[in-house]
Amino acid sequence: MRQLPAVNRFLDDPRIAAFEAIVGRENIKRSIAQTLEDARRVPLNGGYSFEALSATVIERLKSAQYDLLVPVINGTGILLHTNLGRAPLAAAALGAMQRIGAGYSNLEYDVERGERGSRYGRAVSLICALTGAESALVVNNCAAAVLLILDTFAKKRDVIVARSQLIEIGGGFRLPEVLEQSGARLVEVGATNKVYVEDYERALSAHCALFMRVHPSNYTIAGFVHEVEPKELVALGRRTGIPVIEDLGSGALADLAEYGLAHERTVQEAIADGVDLVTFSGDKLLGGPQAGIIAGSAALVARLRTNPLLRALRVDKLTLAALIETLRIWSAPERRTELPLYAMLATPMETLRERANAYAKALKGAAIVETTAYAGGGSVPQGALPSLAVALDPSGGASAAAGKLRKGDRPIIARIEDARLLLDLRTIQPSEDPIAIAALQTL
């Protein structure tokens, strides 16, 4: 036992000391103590090796590092990857978070009048200018936006939804369950593949609160299908005095056809169709922070604002700071590629090819393969676009190599296809290339 190396010897080891900035000294001491404790429990067999013990300490510290929130490199080719934090933020949005987060701000204060001001005002004017909506509101996420609307207008009343739109998206957002949770009654109309405006009309009763359209974010129905045009449903809504709400989810403000994707219904189109309230996410195709945006009729938004639930769903100052800057980027079309999502979407294949060549040059046995990248994140069901990946066939197998990449200093999330390890370059930032290349070289 006395042959166990001293704690200080580990603390002084530069490979271990390097973790201090990341996980803190307490974590380092704890990892050393646990390692020594484990060593004491097994019978001594030929002496303790400092090298073997410090390797264990380093393994522990790496795990401790992943207990924190750490940046990763996204080699999956899925641009809005829910598990990897969806949309990366623009530099201007990050700057605003830093500026506003570091001190006090006029979050709810009218500086000119010297009195209480509106938390939402600045974001709302930008949303209205961009979408053509009369009014708007911002909450925590799109699920919260839907919940707030249902809670405000549809408690113990009917919400009429086409059966083909009763979606489940990732993370437990299952529309029938959200409806149930809010206390609204779901009335399904139509068949799975076909629904007509007459189906909505027949379902009407004195208990009807809303007509609801939901964007099927992650699937399409093809073949023998019939959908009700939004305008048709709006016309029925006007005739019967029932508001039409539409959960767009992805919240495209631009025509994605510009980026070689299928056209996605935009927020502006939904507002122009006369939909009374539209809901969408801040961190999908908007390319901003997690938030739920509600845009539409001023009278209905005014009622949402009086719901006490809004207090529980309200957004914080950092989100608002980032959202406002993101919306300001949208207000100036020439700034679009400041949003990392659109920079990735707009990257030409030639640029990816040049980067792929640099990888291939640095890596023995690497191949460049054509792949498909996806918008992802429950945003665009057919959001596939061409991309390039670096492919490796590591000797120990792709899955072991993927594990090794995940557990590097900067975790890299790769894709495995046909037993090969792929790193899709569309979702890897050019500034991350040297790190990715160095990690691949170790394989």
Q: How far apart are CA 344 and CA 341, in angstroms?
A: 5
Out of 27, 135, 152, 217, the only residue in the binding site for ligand PLP (CB under 6 A) is 217
Q: How far is the CB of 49 from ligand PLP (least distance, A)?
A: 49
How far apart (Å, rounded) are the C-alpha atoms in residues 285 and 297?
Answer: 23
DSSP for 143-194, written as a single string = HHHHHHHHHHH-TTSEEEEEGGG--EETTTEEHHHHHHHTTPEEEEES-SSB
Residues 158/187, Cβ–Cβ less than 8 Å: yes
**215 or 336: whose CB is closer to ligand PLP?**
215
Which 131-150 residues touch ligand PLP, going by CB under 6 A? 141-143
Query: Could you tell me the smallest distance in angstroms from the CB atom of residue 270 to ligand PLP?
Result: 12
> CB of residue 102 vs ligand PLP: minimum separation in angstroms?
27
Burial of 442 (0-12, 13-18, 19+ CB in 10 A): exposed
Q: Are 193 and 228 in contact (CB under 8 A)?
A: no
Report how many residues bind ligand PLP under the rule CB under 6 A. Answer: 14
Residue window 171-210: x/- pattern of binding to ligand PLP, with contact defined by CB under 6 A: --x-------------------------------------
Q: Which of 214, 339, 401, 414 binds ligand PLP (CB under 6 A)?
A: 214
- What is the per-residue binding string for ligand PLP in 291-330, x denoting contact by CB under 6 A? -x--------------------------------------
Structure tokens at 41: 């429990």
Q: How crowded is residue 187: how many other Cβ atoms within 10 Å of its Cβ?
A: 19
R_g over Cα of the chain: 26
Nearer to ligand PLP, 85 or 95 (CB): 85
Helix (H) / strand (E) containing 37: helix 25-41
Binding-site string for ligand PLP from residue 256 to residue 295, where x marks contact by CB under 6 A and - marks none: -------------------------x----------x---
Q: How far is the CB of 170 from ligand PLP (least distance, A)?
A: 8
CB of 292 to ligand PLP, least distance (A): 5
Can you say how many angstroms the Cα of residue 337 is from the centroid of all Cα atoms in its chain?
18
Residues near ligand PLP (CB under 6 A) are: 141-143, 169, 173, 214-215, 217, 247, 249-250, 281, 292, 378
